[in-house]
Amino acid sequence: MGFEAQFSRSDINRVIDRKLKAMYDTMIQTLHFVGDRFVTNVREKVHADPSYREAMKTRARASGLTIGAVPLSPLKIKPNRSGNITQATPRYKDRTGALTSSVGFLIQNNGKTIREHFPETGEGTAKGIAVARRAAAKYPTGLVLVVVAGMEYAAAVESKGYDVLTGSSFIAERELREALAAFRKR
């Protein structure tokens, strides 16, 4: 008398395929979340509405920063590589909106773009998409998240001491590492 399986090889394959699809969907959702947070963080640095200024004031106080007599409207809070807020730095003013509209992300899997997100339309949107696609083309295998500011002068703005992408990219990197660590524990 022996045991007889109540399932077939195709039953096993279906279960494995379902689990793999669930893992893939979770990874895509995670990349989308991190990319979306990145775009939000970049855009928060540009907008100077009163609620933004108040939020920055609160974050500065919570981090032990002394603003002194410097007006808060031209300041932003700059996170370091770990994503912690360390200092106040000048905030750039996007006069044309081109730089802000060039900020976005794309996700690709094995060279095929599966999501693109550039939330603002404007002069920079097409440039941002083109830059993101060129960058993504360098990674033809695996899941890839590309975050960009597509205007050619973004690096020049950062070289003057303004934070366009750098601070947000540190935060995005930290969030992605944390998400991957949590994913591995499952």
Overall domain count for the chain: 1
Q: Give me the domain span that covers residue 99.
A: 9-185
Asked if the structure places residue 145 within a domain, the reply is yes
CA atoms within 13 A on the CB side of 137: 6
Asked if the structure places residue 67 within a domain, the reply is yes
Asked if the structure places residue 104 within a domain, the reply is yes
Query: Phi first, then psi: what are they for 150, rounded to 5°?
Result: -80, -10
Torsion over CA: 75, 146, 172, 126 (sign): positive
Asked if the structure places residue 4 within a domain, the reply is no
Q: How far apart are the first and last CA of the chain?
A: 38
As a whole number of angstroms, the distance between CA 56 and CA 79 comes to 12
Q: Of 1-10, 13-22, 76-85, 157-166, where does mean pLDDT reach its minimum?
A: 76-85
Asked if the structure places residue 17 within a domain, the reply is yes
> Residues 67, 157, 148, CA angle at the centre, nearest 5°?
110
Asked if the structure places residue 90 within a domain, the reply is yes
* Single pTM value for the model: 0.69
Torsion over CA: 168, 170, 173, 176 (sign): negative
pLDDT in tens, 109-157: 999 999 999 988 888 899 999 999 999 999 999 999 999 998 888 888 8
- Give the confidence band of 65 by pLDDT, cuts at 50, 70, 90: very low
Asked if the structure places residue 180 within a domain, the reply is yes
